[in-house]
A and B are shown apart, each in its own frame.
Chain A
Amino acid sequence: MTVIGAAPLPRHDGAPSLELVGFSKRFGALAALDDVSVKVNAGAFHALLGENGAGKSTLVKCAMGYYAADEGQILLNGREVAITHPRQAHELGLGMVYQHFTLVPNMTVLENFVLSRDHLPAVIDWAGERRRLRDYFATTPFAVPLDTPVADLAAGQKQKAEILRQLYLKRNLLILDEPTSVLTPDEADEVLSTLKALTQARQLTIVTITHKFREVNAFCDTVTVLRRGQLVDTRPTRDLDNDTMAEMMVGRRENRVVVERETRAPGAAVLSIEGLSVADHVGQLAVEELSLEIRAGEIVGVAGVSGNGQRELVETLAGQRHAEAGRMLVHGEPYAATRAEMVRHKIACLPEEPLRNACVADMSVAENMALRAFDQPPASPDGVRLKRAPMRDTALRLIEAYRVKTPGPNAPIRALSGGNVQRAVLARELSSDGDLLIVANPCFGLDFAAAAEIRTRIVQARNRGAAILLVSEDLDEILQLSDRIVVMFDGKLALQADANRADVGAIGRAMAGH
């Protein structure tokens, strides 16, 4: 039965072209987009560059129908289309992969894929769906376990699942919002080169929002740069070098202060991990008899593909998870992650996804900045009374020193952008001049200016003699910052090397388990 009057939406096989003409969007007084026009050719791998707040996300959300643009037309294959709802975008073959994951965490991969089908029958033939999906995964360059709840997948696997789902739903124009921020370089290359091959075969058009010049240079053919809601330019990648792109993004050349890594001999051991075993949430050993020592004034980088026990290791050190066996020593004393020990040994922690792991989203910026010291002077003269005024003064000082962009110290921290949440947490954790700093993926999802700043602060802490454990899925970050590099694979250390003698090939092989 057909509904009279509902004309079928145009749907094209093969890669479509997309033209966004004259897009403007205001949020109150803020012009998020001001007359931006972008043309994406059929089969292009088109990069959208810009700093945080440049309007990239707003632009693609307008194109996908999540926001109603104040002005602007969308031409798909040269024909004007109206997209007022994401469902229309989906029917036209437009799909989006977000920086933040959109799969339902407590459902399995299979259930998520079936759930997102456009026309779901009332009775689902699970055996058939499973067979179809398994056959489909056999044709894709990477796959994800079908029956694992998405919450249990590592970040890299989640992102793969997100991209696979879009392809499975036969979307032929994909908008990727920082798709590789959780992937290792090899994984990123694997994903991107697969996508690149699909664009070259004219099966797919891709618009990607990214901060990584390496990926732009390697995979993208065209680059559009936005700055403060305005279009700077669209140019072929081959006409651009990194300096030019950076200049287009930030407008002027900033004096990037590169922190000198002081050459210093490492001091005494601050953290000793001895034979540590940690179970994951289903009770399987995620960390197995791991031993590692970190000395004062050195950064030990833990490289590895996500899901090899890094998260469990960091959570154990942070006090969020209990060890099954083994022990941890800080300054030679047994460490059980109590508040008294954290204060005495000056332990600081920068976990990944700080809003979820290191903040109370509903509490204010000032309160979140006080989480480490609210029971010590000046916030509390005696450990019992709580004084709000010194808390706010401390917060104002930290907001200023760490350039946290916030409406004020009393704004709830969830109102801040990701980079500013990370800065606020960094301010709290570093302001006590910690002796031991545990850092996990500190620059996840940040633009390069914010990432550079945070890395600078970490190196500064090292220069003043802190012992730092840096767990990161970004190998470049590890190579750039570490004094010593270890690779974690399957819950064990697969390789240990001094950073200046590190062989990247050997590290890559260790990460892959060879």
Chain B
Amino acid sequence: MQQALERIAVPTLALLASAIAFGLLLAVYARVDPLETFALMYQGAFGTWFSWQNTLTRAAPLILTALCTALPARLGFIVIGNEGALVVGGVAGAAAGIATSGASPLVAQLAMAVAAMVMGGLWIALAGALRQWRGVNETISSLLLTYIAIALMNHFVEGPLRDPSSLNKPSTWPIGDANMIGTIPGTDVHWGLVFGIVACLLAWVVLRFTTWGFAMQVIGGNPKTARMMGLDVGRYVLLACAAGGAAAGLAGMVEVAAVHGRANASLAVGYGFAGILVSFLARHHPLAIIPVAVLLGGIGASGGLLQRRLDLPDAAVVVLQGIIFVAILASETLYGRLLPRKREG
């Protein structure tokens, strides 16, 4: 009970502290009224149907990329290569879409999704394998893999897959309007949101109601005990990393097949890195990821309004995100100290 309370109280406190810090920054440095700013942010994120749709559209990739950190976190791994998995997933998805152009849209869309998930999964599984069998820190390797992923994307976008007509912004061939996955009926929000929510529900069910999830909890809690129980730790590491990477890869495919219609540098705009923040805020809980992603999506969506009304720079909301991330990491130390505990006699 106390622990459950703490799990909610600590992130809430951290969010509050970040809001205060951001407010002070606004008042002292940008010389705008913090309260007015927050009201505007609310307006821009959740004030109207239009802003809600903007928020949800931004939340969709965050939900998927957050799973890339959340699933390996069950095993005690800190994976931050979400951006890289998203990028390789997007490029693989675009390649599959181009290769299957002419086939029926359903076949093309399935091919894109499978290709993106396989590539994203392999990408993060590589980091997991390096850790499991070579002792390479998975945090560092997954981060560095991101830069390799971006370099690979640039290679394909400017080389083999380049559409010669994309002059200013090198892009791949378009996947074709027929193969776009479209929006949820009655909204401007694309289907990626549904994919994300389904993926989170699926992750929650697996973690909570299957022996696999239980085994992952044992491995994350005490690998030595897991080995004594004969659990195949290496296999679980590979599978969890691959599943997380597949989610982020799918986010890349959604960006291609629902937003841009082709792969280009717009894939690497930080949805992967923001996903890390979402996962940590949600304490790696698959269901908590959804509301947190909506909140973060809302903060992102409000950036435009702040720019228009208060003449704040575009990056203001990124500063807020950064402050939140630092506050969340710092608040980790509060667990077990916030509320008085019964002492052992």
Interface residues of A (CB under 8 A from B): 27-28, 30, 32, 53, 55, 58, 318-320, 337-343, 349, 351, 356-363, 367, 370-372, 374-375, 380, 383-386, 415, 417
Q: In the docked arrangement, what's the CA distance between A53 and B345, Å?
A: 7
**Which of B209, B213, B229 lies at the interface centre, i.e. has the most chain A CB atoms within 10 A of its CB?**
B229
Whether the Cβ atoms of A386 and B230 lie closer than 8 Å is: no
Neighbouring B residues of A32 by C-beta, 8 Å? 345
Residue of A whose beta carbon sits closest to that of B209: A386
In the complex with contacts A339-B232, A386-B209, A386-B210, A362-B221 CB distance below 8 A: yes
Residue pairs across A and B with CB atoms within 8 Å: the count is 80
For A339, list chain B residues within 8 Å (CB). Answer: 229-232
- The answer to whether A337 and B230 touch (CB under 8 A), given A30-B345, A58-B345, is yes
**A380-B211 in contact given A32-B345, A320-B224, A363-B218 (Cβ < 8 Å):** yes
Q: Is the CB of B213 within 8 A of A386?
A: yes
Are A27 and B342 in touch, CB under 8 angstroms?
A: yes
A-B contact pairs, 13 of them (CB 8 A): A58-B345, A319-B228, A320-B227, A337-B227, A340-B230, A357-B224, A360-B217, A360-B222, A363-B217, A371-B229, A380-B211, A384-B211, A386-B213
Residues of A within 8 A of B227 (CB): 318-320, 337
Q: For the complex formed, measure the closest distance between the CB of B112 and the CB atoms of chain A, giving whole angstroms.
A: 29
* CA A356 to CA B212, docked complex, whole Å: 22
Contacts of A351 in B (CB 8 A): 228
CB < 8 Å neighbour of B211 from A28, A357, A361, A385: A385
Q: A385 CA to B209 CA in the complex, in Å?
A: 6
B67-115 contacts to A, CB under 8 A, are none
Chain B contact residues, majority secondary structure? helix
Closest 6 CB pairs of A and B: A339-B230, A360-B221, A375-B211, A32-B345, A342-B230, A27-B345
Task: Please tell me if the beta carbons of B228 and A358 are within 8 angstroms of each other in the complex.
Answer: yes
Q: Which residue in chain A gives the minimum CB-CB distance to B211?
A: A375
Contact flags B205-244 to A (C-beta < 8 A → 1, else 0) = 0000111111101100110110111111000000000000
Q: Given the complex, which residues of A lie within 8 Å of B343, measured CB to CB?
A: 27
B342 — which chain A residues lie within 8 A by C-beta? 27-28
On whether the beta carbons of A374 and B214 are closer than 8 Å, the reply is yes
Min CB gap A301→B, angstroms: 21
Q: Which residue of B lies closest to A415 (CB)?
A: B344
Q: What is the CA–CA distance of A339 and B225 in the complex, to the nearest angstrom?
A: 12
Closest to A340 in B: B230
Given A318-B227, A360-B222, A372-B229: 14 more A-B contacts, CB < 8 Å: A27-B342, A55-B345, A319-B230, A337-B227, A338-B232, A343-B230, A357-B225, A361-B222, A374-B211, A375-B211, A375-B215, A384-B211, A385-B211, A386-B209
Give which listed residue, A318, A371, A415, contacts B218 with CB less than 8 A.
A371
Give the shortest distance, in Å, between A48 (CB) and chain B (any CB).
Answer: 16
A385–B229 touching, CB < 8 Å: no
Q: Are A341 and B230 in contact (CB under 8 A)?
A: yes
- Of residues 178 through 218 on chain B, the ones whose CB sits less than 8 Å from some CB of chain A are 209-215, 217-218
Known contacts A30-B345, A58-B345, A363-B217; A356/B211 CB under 8 A = no
- A371 and B227 alpha carbons, distance in the complex (Å): 11
Contact A384 B218 (CB under 8 A): no
User: Shortest beta-carbon distance, A412 to chain B, in Å?
Assistant: 9
Residues of B302-345 whose CB lies within 8 A of A:
342-345
Chain A residues in 8 Å Cβ range of B222: 356, 359-361
A435 to chain B minimum Cβ distance, whole angstroms, is: 15
Asked whether A384 lies within 8 Å of B230 as measured between CB atoms, the reply is: no
Contacts of B344 in A (CB 8 A): 27, 415, 417
Q: Which residue of A53, A343, A359, A380 is within 8 Å of B225 (Cβ)?
A: A359
Minimum CB–CB distance for B273 against chain A, Å: 29
Q: Which of B210, B221, B225, B232 is most buried by chain A, counting CB atoms within 10 A of its CB?
A: B225
Given A27-B342, A363-B217, A385-B211: A338 touches B224 (CB 8 Å cut-off): no
